Chains A and B, each alone.
Chain A
Amino acid sequence: MTRQMSGARMIVEALKDQGVEVIFGYPGGAVLPIYDEIFQQNDIRHILVRHEQGAVHAAEGYARSTGKPGVVLVTSGPGATNAVTGMTDALMDSIPLVVLTGQVPTFMIGNDAFQEADTVGITRPCTKHNWLVKDTNRLAETIHQAFHIATTGRPGPVLVDIPKDVQFATAAYTGPKAARVSHYQPRLKGDPDRILTLVEMIETAERPIFYTGGGVINSGPRASALLRDLVAATGFPLTSTLMGLGAYPASGKSWLGMLGMHGLVEANLAMHGCDVMINIGARFDDRITGRIADFSPKSRKAHIDIDQSSLNKVVHTEVPILGDVSSVLEDLLAVWKARGSKTNAAAVKKWWMQIEQWKKTRCLAYTASPRIIKPQYALERLQALTAGHDRYITTEVGQHQMWAAQYLGFEAPNRWMTSGGLGTMGYGLPASIGVQIAHPDALVINVAGEASFLMNMQEMGTAVQYRLPVKQFIMNNERLGMVRQWQELLHGERYSQSWSEALPDFVKLAEAFGAKGMQCSDPADLDDAIMEMINHDGPVIFDCLVEKHENCFPMIPSGEPHNKMILSDGMVGGAISESGAVLV
């Protein structure tokens, strides 16, 4: 039996059949028929954002914290172009999104019609795939394919552009089962020979390290569980990228902390000095590797990734394994156990002794102050006071983001939402909204910088409208802090345009939106203030006035190897020895 219906209704039907519970969107002329259908049903909840960029980041937060795809609905022209940053962000961080855009009627395409933009053209480079649907008969099927492609293989954003006449026209609905399966069926199982080679490497490694990334989280909770088994059974140390935090617990015995440009000394030195590196779902990003030529020079490297193009893209690896992290780890564990669960325990013990030495650097130590809230202190307190909660953290981009990654501990995957690949200021507030929608009873905190917060602060309206108790913890240094840090260290202290001038009164701003506003500037008051924020049943803007000129360390300047780090302000500005000088 075929069911005839309008394209607009078909969209809603297809979303329901895909199990969609919530969409983030903003209406306009080219999507009015769809909004009409949304009005006439109750299965799918629509969250009205205040700017389409907010819709996409909210959907990212939803997706990242649930493992389900995020769904966005926006109008043609400016609606679509406003969504571009979010889609690029999702592409870089492999977040599954299905973005539906309205388009001018098919017969007007190409005429520079009102609110026409070449949406598929503009978004081709920032989606995993996109479609312009010109025939209502193809609409439902295309939406089902869109979900398939967004969520399988390396996840990512997809876009379906739907002209208004296609929404009005009637055709037979195609259900998900009847939809033609796309030939896109990424391979999940790793090559057994290569897995065996990796097992042999694990058995003999003297100075091994696991280097894990967002791919572990994208692969699902089972991947994290298997990773934990593998790490516990081998006793090897583990470090993670920014995107991978939480896959292995921060309280775990093997945890070395984050690596990379602002990673911990022990993590970076272990990467530099290891003899076997096992990359699981990370991509040798330039914020991680530093100078490629000096990246972990003495190690044999294995790399597990679901994306063929990530293998051997930047760093040549001896054992590239194409496959899904869960599947590969499962096979790996089976083979390794069948061969007797061997490791070179004596050598690994020595390696750990070396690592313990490096840990003594206590690279995250900072000079506390009785008068001024140090940003590190603020995060230590936030960690201490929220660790027992069912807690989700989002961030904006800048120093506060790196400090959050360094000082907050994540025990489970999907608890840490941050813009890694694109580094999008303005991500955190809308992302926190998406997370809170998915987890209504959880404690959701956006660790923000004052400058980033301003980029999408209109979304406070969304938080208030839907009574989302998101906590905006602004580490207000009145600076574009990360830019200021680079200018101080590398551009002669010429602070070009890195001041946050004419800031709003954040307490009044909160109140203007109908939220609670708080300010804290005294370290002695901080604990009580944080508790007040947590206990408030509603959205809060917490204006935490922190030290303005604190720098984020450790830091590996771009182009330096892992064993060259700036550890503190004291190391900057001194005489440079020949060997320590910049190697350009």
Chain B
Amino acid sequence: MSPLKIKKGSSRHSAYDLRDPNADVIETHTLGVIVDNEAGVLARVIGLFSGRGYNIESLTVAEIDHLGHRSRITIVTTGTPQVIEQIKAQLGRIIPVHEVHDLTVEGPTVERELALFKVAGKGDARIEALRLAEIFRANVVDSTLESFVFEMTGTSEKIDAFAELMRPLGLSDIARTGVAALSRGMA
């Protein structure tokens, strides 16, 4: 044993160790969480993330089984492998949570997001916006003489890419749903 000698008055020892032991690799995971569709369940999930300092990149929720009162929450989150494990374990502790699936590790998944883009413009810009929308397979769901609303479904990256292209062409508003995800195949 080495007896510890400390200098009186060295407040570097606070009541807590101030170094973060977890500052290593950051991963992104998509989680599928099946919950009872009851009051407050979303608040519990969100409160867990804010209370414990976890990240939410995106979160979607909707009822998937009306008779069984079940909803599916899809969460895209980031963290070290240890933090991701903690998030799953902590989600599992929430009483109305029935299942927690880490789609990222459970195998190949389909991940989709829906977005609406409002693009205002005239002349060449307007034509160019429409042409790009066709290439990206975005649908026109509303149009005036000076604007379009495009609808697009795809991966988040594709939506990002389309948004970048629309920006100089008069993009004025975006609404995104966040990611919905399922594992591929029968699993």
Listed in ascending order, the chain A residues whose CB lies under 8 Å from chain B are 120-121, 124-125, 128-129, 132, 149, 182-184, 265, 269, 286, 290-293, 307-309, 311-313, 316, 358, 486, 488-493, 556-560, 563-567, 571-577, 579-582, 584
Closest to B95 in A: A129
6 A-B pairs closest in CB distance: A492-B9, A559-B17, A309-B89, A564-B4, A557-B13, A129-B95
Contacts of A581 in B (CB 8 A): 7
Question: Across the interface, do B43 and A577 meet the contact criterion of CB distance under 8 Å?
Answer: no
Question: Across the interface, do B5 and A184 meet the contact criterion of CB distance under 8 Å?
Answer: no
- Say yes or no: is B123 at the interface (Cβ < 8 Å to chain A): no
Closest to A186 in B: B93
Q: Could you tell me the distance in whole angstroms from the C-beta of A561 to the nearest C-beta in chain B?
A: 9
A216 to B169, CA, bound (A): 66
Question: Across the interface, do B8 and A124 meet the contact criterion of CB distance under 8 Å?
Answer: no
Contact A492 B11, CB 8 Å, known A124-B40, A291-B17, A559-B19: yes
Contacts of B92 in A (CB 8 A): 308-309
Among B5, B15, B21, B85, contact of A571 (Cβ-Cβ < 8 Å): B5
Given contacts A557-B6, A580-B3, A584-B12, 14 further A-B contacts (CB under 8 A): A183-B98, A184-B95, A286-B16, A290-B17, A312-B86, A490-B10, A492-B9, A558-B16, A559-B16, A560-B4, A573-B7, A576-B7, A580-B2, A580-B4
A576 to B10, CA, bound (A): 11
Q: Mark B70-90, 1 if CB is under 8 A from A, else 0.
A: 000000000000100110011
Q: Could you tell me the distance in whole angstroms from the C-beta of A303 to the nearest C-beta in chain B?
A: 13
Chain B interface, DSSP helix/strand/loop, else mixed:
loop
A559 to B14, CA, bound (A): 9
Contacts of A563 in B (CB 8 A): 1-2
Contacts of A269 in B (CB 8 A): 1
Listed in ascending order, the chain B residues whose CB lies under 8 Å from chain A are 1-19, 21, 39-40, 43-44, 47, 51, 82, 85-86, 89-90, 92-93, 95, 98
Q: Could you tell me the distance in whole angstroms from the C-beta of B156 to the nearest C-beta in chain A?
A: 29
Q: Could you tell me the distance in whole angstroms from the C-beta of B179 to the nearest C-beta in chain A?
A: 25
A237 to B120, CA, bound (A): 75
Contacts of B2 in A (CB 8 A): 563-564, 579-580
Among A124, A307, A316, contact of B93 (Cβ-Cβ < 8 Å): A307
A400 to B21, CA, bound (A): 32
Contacts of B14 in A (CB 8 A): 490, 558
Question: Across the interface, do A490 and B5 meet the contact criterion of CB distance under 8 Å?
Answer: no
Closest to B83 in A: A313
Among B6, B39, B82, contact of A582 (Cβ-Cβ < 8 Å): B6
Question: Across the interface, do A580 and B5 meet the contact criterion of CB distance under 8 Å?
Answer: yes
A121 to B19, CA, bound (A): 32
Contact A488 B8, CB 8 Å, known A309-B90, A559-B19: yes
A581 to B10, CA, bound (A): 10
A560 to B51, CA, bound (A): 27
Question: Across the interface, do A486 and B15 meet the contact criterion of CB distance under 8 Å?
Answer: yes
Contact A576 B19, CB 8 Å, known A128-B95, A132-B39, A184-B95: no
Contacts of B6 in A (CB 8 A): 489-490, 557, 566, 572, 576, 580, 582
Closest to B14 in A: A558
Contact A558 B43, CB 8 Å, known A566-B6, A571-B4: no
Closest to B44 in A: A124
Q: Could you tell me the distance in whole angstroms from the C-beta of B2 to the nearest C-beta in chain A?
A: 6
Q: Could you tell me the distance in whole angstroms from the C-beta of B23 to the nearest C-beta in chain A?
A: 12
A311 to B1, CA, bound (A): 29
Among A184, A491, A559, contact of B11 (Cβ-Cβ < 8 Å): A491
Contact A577 B5, CB 8 Å, known A308-B89, A558-B15: yes
Q: Could you tell me the distance in whole angstroms from the C-beta of B104 to the nearest C-beta in chain A?
A: 18
A121 to B42, CA, bound (A): 12
Closest to A568 in B: B3
Question: Across the interface, do A557 and B4 meet the contact criterion of CB distance under 8 Å?
Answer: yes
Closest to B1 in A: A563
Contacts of B18 in A (CB 8 A): 559, 584
Contacts of B86 in A (CB 8 A): 309, 312-313
A558 to B14, CA, bound (A): 7
Closest to A128 in B: B95
Contacts of A125 in B (CB 8 A): 47, 51
Among A120, A265, A560, A575, contact of B40 (Cβ-Cβ < 8 Å): A120
Question: Across the interface, do A490 and B9 meet the contact criterion of CB distance under 8 Å?
Answer: yes
Q: Could you tell me the distance in whole angstroms from the C-beta of B87 to the nearest C-beta in chain A?
A: 9
Contacts of B19 in A (CB 8 A): 559, 584
Among A560, A577, A582, contact of B10 (Cβ-Cβ < 8 Å): A582
A308 to B8, CA, bound (A): 41
A124 to B21, CA, bound (A): 28
Contacts of B13 in A (CB 8 A): 490, 557-560, 582
Question: Across the interface, do B3 and A312 meet the contact criterion of CB distance under 8 Å?
Answer: no
Contacts of B47 in A (CB 8 A): 124-125
A516 to B167, CA, bound (A): 80
A253 to B3, CA, bound (A): 27
Contacts of A575 in B (CB 8 A): 5
A132 to B13, CA, bound (A): 44
5 contacts between A and B (CB under 8 A): A309-B89, A557-B13, A559-B17, A571-B4, A575-B5
Contacts of A571 in B (CB 8 A): 3-5
Question: Across the interface, do B8 and A493 meet the contact criterion of CB distance under 8 Å?
Answer: yes
A579 to B120, CA, bound (A): 67
A558 to B13, CA, bound (A): 6
Closest to A577 in B: B5
Q: Could you tell me the distance in whole angstroms from the C-beta of A459 to the nearest C-beta in chain B?
A: 28
Question: Across the interface, do B17 and A558 meet the contact criterion of CB distance under 8 Å?
Answer: yes
Contact A491 B4, CB 8 Å, known A121-B43, A307-B93: no
A488 to B4, CA, bound (A): 16
Contact A565 B4, CB 8 Å, known A125-B51, A128-B95, A308-B89: yes
Q: Could you tell me the distance in whole angstroms from the C-beta of B6 to the nearest C-beta in chain A?
A: 6
Q: Could you tell me the distance in whole angstroms from the C-beta of B136 to the nearest C-beta in chain A?
A: 42
Among B11, B43, B93, contact of A490 (Cβ-Cβ < 8 Å): B11
Among B3, B89, B98, contact of A565 (Cβ-Cβ < 8 Å): B3
